Amino acid sequence: MSKKSSFIQPLLKFWQTLTAFMVVGVLVASSGVNKFIPINLLGIQPAIAQRISPGDIWQQVYKQLPDFPKENQYISRETGQVAENSTLASRLIRYHLYTKGRAPSYRLDWKLTLADYLDANEIMYDHSYPGNDILRQNPLEGDRAAIAKLNRQQRNALVQVLANLFTPNPPNTQTPNPDKTTNPNTSTPQPPQQGGAELLR
């Protein structure tokens, strides 16, 4: 057997094996097995994502936080009228979800978005800010000024409301039943807390 044929034989065997693996892979992939579908980068399951409507969420923000600034005095390029539905809450949500691609159900992500507005995190660009394409005046500076006027308590309330609205049924939250009273004889003993003496001061 020549050197050439002794080199070609293993190479042909390798290609046959590789082809067989590729055929099996195609068959498995086309058989409808879902476990190879990658997880959504935003952490939103498809069924949940379909229920989320940012257009509805911003209205809920104002129902729960009626004092949150609307900043909806800007003029529409298309109609020449005041675009009342282009509010600070709607732009903030669009910026968070679509411009930055952040998860809507985590408080930390909303805090990062507010930090952007406060010039303490990532740079916000005029050309990509929501409303720049449909309003005569870019609302970015006005929105940043409105967020800067909020105190820490107001910002925390906004973060909590937004996170709650995008996760209407948190998995680990149990609603206490006021009708059931706890029997002190059957309650499970709690481990002692460290620093208990500090709590008494």
Res. 50: pLDDT tops 80: no
What's the whole-number mean pLDDT along residues 163-176?
Answer: 68
pTM for the whole thing? 0.61
pLDDT band with cut points at 50, 70 and 90 for residue 163: very high
Q: What mean pLDDT comes out for the span 91-106? A: 96
Would the CA dihedral through 54, 60, 65, 68 be positive or negative?
positive
Q: Give the separation between CA 126 and CA 141, rounded to whole angstroms.
A: 9
Is the pLDDT confidence value at 156 over 60? yes
Report d(CA 137, CA 35) in Å as an integer.
47
| 137 to 26, 98, 113, 140, 142: CA distances (angstroms) | 53, 20, 22, 9, 10
- Distance, CA of 199 to CA of 42 (rounded, Å): 40
Q: Which helix (H) or strand (E) holds 143?
A: helix 140-148
* Sign of the torsion formed by the C-alpha atoms of 180, 182, 186 and 190: positive
